[in-house]
């Protein structure tokens, strides 16, 4: 689900930061959700001000549930005390959508993009995020597609990647979560994305084997550059710690 937006203060279109280059930062170990969320907000402010290039953050999280603006509390299926017992964090955040899960083995990508230079097309932006995932899965011989009623990427009526974004002043936050080697048991804590009649799956479940997170990440970065027609520049320090 996409937040409704009105452009109030677009980025400066004559800024050097409007060059079509994507800075990519990757983490080698699961990281706390709040750390990446705070970093997104910092980068978003810099992007709005025209002081930074488009940026893509790629990571895994420690077990976390997030609830978007349209989340319904009945889609949380256990008491908060049970989440604490299991070591699962819970955050109510400013993206579109309902409840979703993030955790080890799930590849999460957060693009902070200036849509002034990517067409100012919100449905097109969501479509492109889906396309990045579909092409990435094809590299592993997984045929995936879209659902006419629900945002995300699907394999045989099961969601393999969730998408939830926030767009303000034509600059994006939040993004997509692709189940690679995810422990799917955590999804029993929620009705994922508030959808009751469809399931969830992962690459490992489909392929009956674990998949290299680094390989999936590399494929996704490559397809992101192709789909968005943008040059990719990896963090010169390598994987962030």
Note the pLDDT tens digit of each residue in 195-228: 667 789 999 999 999 999 999 999 999 999 999 9
The pLDDT of 80-87, averaged and rounded, is 91
pLDDT above 70 covers a percentage of the chain that reads 88
Angstrom distances, CA of residue 102 to CA of 65, 96, 128, 150, 204: 6, 16, 21, 19, 16
Domain 17-234: CATH architecture, name and number where available? 2-Layer Sandwich (3.30)
For the segment 45-83, what is each residue's pLDDT rounded down to a tens digit?
A: 999 999 999 999 999 999 999 888 888 888 888 898 999
| pTM (2 d.p.) | 0.89
CA-CA-CA-CA dihedral for 30, 131, 123, 12, to nearest 10: 70
Q: For residue 157, is it left (φ>0), alpha (ψ between -120 and 50) or beta?
A: left
Q: What confidence score (pLDDT) does residue 9 get? A: 32
**Token output for 159:** 């969601």
**Token output for 57:** 């953050």
Q: Which residues contact 141 (CB under 8 A, 6 or more apart)?
A: none
Helices (H), 139-190: none
**Token output for 157:** 């009526």
Q: Which letter does DSSP use for residue 32 in this model?
A: -
Confidence of residue 194 (pLDDT cuts 50, 70, 90): low
Q: What confidence score (pLDDT) does residue 8 get? A: 27
Q: What confidence score (pLDDT) does residue 14 get? A: 41
90: enclosing H helix or E strand: strand 89-92
| 60 within 8 A of 105, measured Cβ to Cβ | yes
11 as an active site residue: the answer is no
- The residue to which tokens 């049970």 are assigned: 82
Q: What confidence score (pLDDT) does residue 5 get? A: 27
Q: What confidence score (pLDDT) does residue 4 get? A: 29
Confidence of residue 1 (pLDDT cuts 50, 70, 90): very low
43: enclosing H helix or E strand: helix 33-48
For the segment 92-150, what is each residue's pLDDT rounded down to a tens digit?
A: 888 877 888 999 999 999 999 999 999 999 999 999 999 999 999 999 999 999 998 88
Q: What confidence score (pLDDT) does residue 17 get? A: 55
| 64 within 8 A of 90, measured Cβ to Cβ | yes
For the segment 8-41, what is each residue's pLDDT rounded down to a tens digit?
A: 233 344 444 557 899 999 999 999 999 999 999 9
The answer to whether residue 178 scores a pLDDT higher than 80 is yes
Catalytic residue among 11, 59, 193, 219: 193
């Amino acid at each position: 689900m996409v937040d409704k937006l009105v452009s109030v203060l677009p980025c400066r279109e004559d800024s050097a930061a409007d060059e079509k280059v994507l800075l990519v930062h990757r983490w080698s170990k699961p990281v706390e959700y709040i750390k990446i969320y705070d970093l997104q907000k910092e980068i978003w402010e810099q992007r709005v001000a025209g002081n930074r290039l488009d940026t893509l953050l790629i990571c895994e999280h420690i077990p976390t549930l997030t609830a978007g603006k349209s989340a319904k509390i009945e889609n949380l299926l256990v008491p908060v005390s049970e989440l604490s017992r299991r070591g699962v964090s819970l955050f109510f955040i400013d993206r579109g959508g309902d409840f979703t899960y993030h955790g080890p083995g799930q590849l999460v990508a957060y693009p902070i993009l200036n849509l002034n230079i990517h067409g100012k097309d919100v449905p097109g932006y969501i479509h492109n995020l889906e396309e990045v995932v579909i092409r990435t899965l094809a590299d592993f011989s997984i045929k995936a597609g879209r659902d006419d009623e629900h945002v995300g990427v699907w394999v045989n009526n099961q969601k393999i990647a969730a998408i939830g974004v926030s767009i303000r002043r034509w600059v994006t936050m939040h993004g997509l979560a692709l189940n690679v080697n995810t422990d799917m048991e955590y999804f029993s804590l929620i009705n994922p994305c508030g959808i009751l009649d469809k399931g969830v799956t992962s690459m490992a479940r489909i392929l009956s084997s674990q998949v290299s997170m680094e390989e999936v990440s590399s494929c996704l970065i490559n397809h992101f550059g192709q789909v968005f027609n943008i040059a990719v520049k990896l963090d010169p320090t390598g994987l962030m710690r």
